[in-house]
Amino acid sequence: MLIKDIGEFALIERFKRKIKTDSSVIKGSGDDCAVLKLDKQNHQLFTCDMLVEGVDFTLKDNSYLVGRKAIAVSLSDIASCSGKPRHCVISLGLPKNTSLSFVDKLFQGMLDIAKKYKVNIVGGDLSRSSKVVLDVSMLGEVEKKYLTLRSGARVGDIIFITGELGGSISGKHLQFTPRIKEARFLSRNFKVKAMTDISDGLTSDLGHILEQSNAGAVIYEALIPLSGKARNLSDALNNGEDFELLFTLSRPQALKLLKRKLSIFRPIGEIRERKYGFQLIDKRSRPVNIKPKGFKHF
């Protein structure tokens, strides 16, 4: 039996089931970040993301942007939990025939985005490998009252996203803006019920919120903002790596947000009861059952 026969998510579940954690762990694996006890006011956030040549980038990509992305994906996880990024370590596997200029640009991409988001690069590990591999682990902090998880969505909540979807395949995955600022704005001014980032794809990531919140949902095709670079609706629904925020607000809070007329936040649907399932209402008002279909590694 091979791992591709059981699939990525079943493989993760298989492992997760066996893990036991102590009382210092508020939330273990299964959300965008682990949440750990820190002090009276704050939790600590802890996340890791691995990028692999040939899967997450190619050697034809600008290595400055590859380095940037390696840090940005973890920033996006910290944003999902409404946190402030603080420290990171970087493991890097490189073929020995890698050119110095490739690595210099890779490093510069990391340094620049770390500086911009005030993350301290505090350590790393360098290894020989046959393909380029980058793994960034990041720590963040979040005020207890601001923490957002995937599990807080409730029936009647309005579902929002930031930005536009479906541009990932045309290069956005290497140049996206981690939504730290937007997440902090939301957590400071609104009561965000559930939040995650769109890394696997809208249907897949909303699926995670629904599963962890034990809820259903309806989203409206007409409300989904397509990137000018999306080829079709499926790019917006099922492509990963848009790295936009996906979150829910109670109806009164949603109205309050909409009154601010901030074009970056757009409502796309509503949380329903679990038994309702997960539906898309298409442009002709026909309901279509959605099966989450995001990027899978296996």
Q: Least Å distance between CB 114 and its own copies?
A: 8
Are 90 and 134 within 8 A, CB to CB?
yes
Q: Least Å distance between CB 124 and its own copies?
A: 6
Among 121, 155, 233, 258, binds its own copies (CB under 8 A): 121
Among 13, 41, 58, 123, binds its own copies (CB under 8 A): 123
Per the DSSP assignment, residues forming a β-bridge with 142 are: 43
- Confirm or reject binding of residue 230 to its own copies (CB under 8 A): no
Cα 120 to chain centroid, rounded:
21
- Confirm or reject binding of residue 12 to its own copies (CB under 8 A): yes
Among 61, 107, 223, 226, binds its own copies (CB under 8 A): 107
3-state secondary structure of 225: coil
3-state secondary structure of 13: helix
Region from 94-102, 250-258, 266-274, 278-286 binding its own copies, contact rule CB under 8 A: 94-102
- Confirm or reject binding of residue 298 to its own copies (CB under 8 A): yes
Q: Least Å distance between CB 152 and its own copies?
A: 19
Are 166 and 229 within 8 A, CB to CB?
yes
Alpha carbon dihedral 125, 42, 24, 76, in 10-degree steps, equals: -40
Among 42, 79, 135, 197, binds its own copies (CB under 8 A): 135
- Confirm or reject binding of residue 254 to its own copies (CB under 8 A): no
- Confirm or reject binding of residue 61 to its own copies (CB under 8 A): no
Report the C-alpha gap between 167 and 221 in whole angstroms: 16
- Confirm or reject binding of residue 103 to its own copies (CB under 8 A): yes
- Confirm or reject binding of residue 212 to its own copies (CB under 8 A): no
- Which candidate, 289, 283, 72, places its Cα nearest to that of 174? 72
Sheet containing 133-143: give its strands across: 25-27, 34-37, 42-52, 133-143, 84-94, 120-128
Report the C-alpha gap between 40 and 100 in whole angstroms: 46
Residues in binding contact with its own copies, number by CB under 8 A: 72
3-state secondary structure of 52: strand
Judged by CB under 8 A, the chain residues 31 through 60 that form the site for its own copies are 33-34, 36, 39, 46-52, 54-56
Per the DSSP assignment, residues forming a β-bridge with 289 are: 279
Phi-psi label, residue 250: left if phi above 0, alpha if psi -120 to 50, beta otherwise: beta
Q: Least Å distance between CB 224 and its own copies?
A: 27
Report the C-alpha gap between 286 and 294 in whole angstroms: 22
Q: Which is nearer to its own copies, 12 or 222 (CB)?
A: 12
Judged by CB under 8 A, the chain residues 143 through 202 that form the site for its own copies are none
- Confirm or reject binding of residue 116 to its own copies (CB under 8 A): no
Are 208 and 150 within 8 A, CB to CB?
yes
Q: Which is nearer to its own copies, 9 or 220 (CB)?
A: 9
Q: Least Å distance between CB 264 and its own copies?
A: 27
Q: Look-up: residue for tokens 């309050």?
A: 256
Q: Least Å distance between CB 203 and its own copies?
A: 19
Among 41, 120, 170, 214, binds its own copies (CB under 8 A): 120
